[in-house]
Amino acid sequence: MRRIEVHLRRGETCDLVLAAIRHYDPVDFSIVEPQQEDRLVINVLVRNSKSQKLVDVIQAALEDESDWRLNVIGIDVSLPRLKSEEEATESRNTQAIREEIVNDIDKGAVLDRDFVILVVLSTVVAAIGMNSGSVAGVIGAMVIAPLLGPILAFAMGAALGQGELLSSAAKTLGVGVAVAFVSAFALAFVIDVDLAQTELTSRAEVRLDSLALALAAGGAAALSVAKGQNSGLVGVMVAAALLPPGAAIGLFAGVGEVALAARAGLLLTLNVACLVLAALLTFRLRKIRPRSWLEQQNATRAVRINLASWAVLLVLSAVLIVYFDLGEKISFGA
């Protein structure tokens, strides 16, 4: 259940908003008169299954107005409990509304000093962990890596056709990968890189299980966010597909192993493609789309372009594997 709070001016628009609220059969609603003149506050308790539609209708009714605000507040507990059949319906329709999802994702895609610092620290930990054969070190690095946000933001930007979100997410992800490379490259001149460590050299192998991990991580992360659940643990899976190969590129390049660095770069590229594809398809399957018809058409076009682009990238990567004889390091099994 959610509480929708609408602040607006008195007038005909109020009647439209109240008609929409009554149409979607709220659990309860009330009208409050604040101290400001010619103002109203409408508080609505609405079931999760109807909250997105009601928010969209209210926004459509108010889009020509300039002085209004709509707040959406989640409710953890409401007593007395709904009837058993209503609770069953609510559990099946538990999903964050579009605005909640975008708000959460947008925060994770911010490129700031903290993001850069976390990427540097997680890269150093991952690089040292791989070089020493410490699985615990690699896992610890993935816990603190902030790479989930830009991946989900890119997929959400494509799903909603929001070019600004797409570009900001791409910028954040690109900077993150570049910072990871530079950090690992510099670290290669400080430590003795051990090319006998399988934790490190395995990042130069393109394996089906690695790609499956990336696909599963992208889908699970998008589903967790769509359902309004904590995606922190899923973020570790996403970081597992990005951070180790990103750090390995820098280490290999730092010791002059260009071929190994190229293979690690190929693995990173394939993992990014799989993550974005899985997240994008999950958002579409969860029917996370823009509100207006025109925006939906633009979003559909953006989704098709992105799907085609990432699919072409996967095909080109496969061609590179065969043409440049990278197959010697390709493993399709354990």
Spatial distance between the Cα atoms of 297 and 302, rounded to a whole number of angstroms = 9
Q: Is the pLDDT of residue 305 over 80?
A: no
| Alpha carbon 265 to its chain's center | 22
Q: How far is CA 158 from CA 152, 169, 188, 291, 296, in A?
A: 10, 11, 37, 15, 11
Q: Is the pLDDT of residue 168 over 50?
A: yes
- Comparing 223 with 326, the larger pLDDT belongs to 223
Provide the pLDDT for residue 327: 45
Radius of gyration of the chain (CA): 24
pLDDT digits (tens, 9 = 90+) for 194-210: 898 888 988 888 777 77
Span of 43-52, 56-65, 70-79, 294-303 with lowest mean pLDDT: 294-303
User: Whose CA is closest to 200, among 267, 235, 249?
Assistant: 249
Q: Is the pLDDT of residue 97 over 70?
A: yes
Report the chain's mean pLDDT, rounded to a whole number. Answer: 83
Mean pLDDT across the stretch 138-163?
86
Spatial distance between the Cα atoms of 233 and 224, rounded to a whole number of angstroms = 10
Provide the pLDDT for residue 331: 42
Run of H or E residues at 150: helix 148-160
Q: From the CB of residue 156, how many other CB atoms can be counted at a distance below 10 Å?
A: 27
Provide the pLDDT for residue 329: 45
Mean pLDDT across the stretch 59-71?
88
User: Whose CA is closest to 218, among 172, 262, 276?
Assistant: 276
Run of H or E residues at 21: helix 12-23
User: Whose CA is closest to 62, among 24, 17, 4?
Assistant: 17
Spatial distance between the Cα atoms of 51 and 46, rounded to a whole number of angstroms = 6
Mean pLDDT across the stretch 187-193?
92
pLDDT digits (tens, 9 = 90+) for 107-150: 878 899 999 999 999 999 999 999 998 888 888 888 888 888 89
Mean pLDDT across the stretch 101-109?
82
Spatial distance between the Cα atoms of 240 and 232, rounded to a whole number of angstroms = 13
SS3 (DSSP) at 62: helix
| Alpha carbon 125 to its chain's center | 24
Cβ(62)–Cβ(17) under 8 Å? yes
Provide the pLDDT for residue 254: 93
Span of 18-27, 123-132, 293-302 with lowest mean pLDDT: 293-302
Mean pLDDT across the stretch 171-186?
93
Cβ(54)–Cβ(5) under 8 Å? no
Provide the pLDDT for residue 271: 87
Cβ(150)–Cβ(108) under 8 Å? yes
Cβ(2)–Cβ(48) under 8 Å? yes
Residue 334's pLDDT band (cuts 50, 70, 90): very low
Q: What percent of the chain has a predicted confidence (pLDDT) above 70? A: 87
- DSSP for 192-253, please give it: ---TT-HHHHGGG-EEHHHHHHHHHHHHHHHHHHHTT---HHHHHHHHHHHHHHHHHHHHHH
Place of tokens 């329709």: 93
Cβ(330)–Cβ(262) under 8 Å? no
Provide the pLDDT for residue 198: 86
pTM as predicted: 0.78
- Comparing 286 with 305, the larger pLDDT belongs to 286
> Apex CA 119: angle with CA 316 and CA 179, to 5°?
60
Spatial distance between the Cα atoms of 42 and 56, rounded to a whole number of angstroms = 16
Provide the pLDDT for residue 93: 55
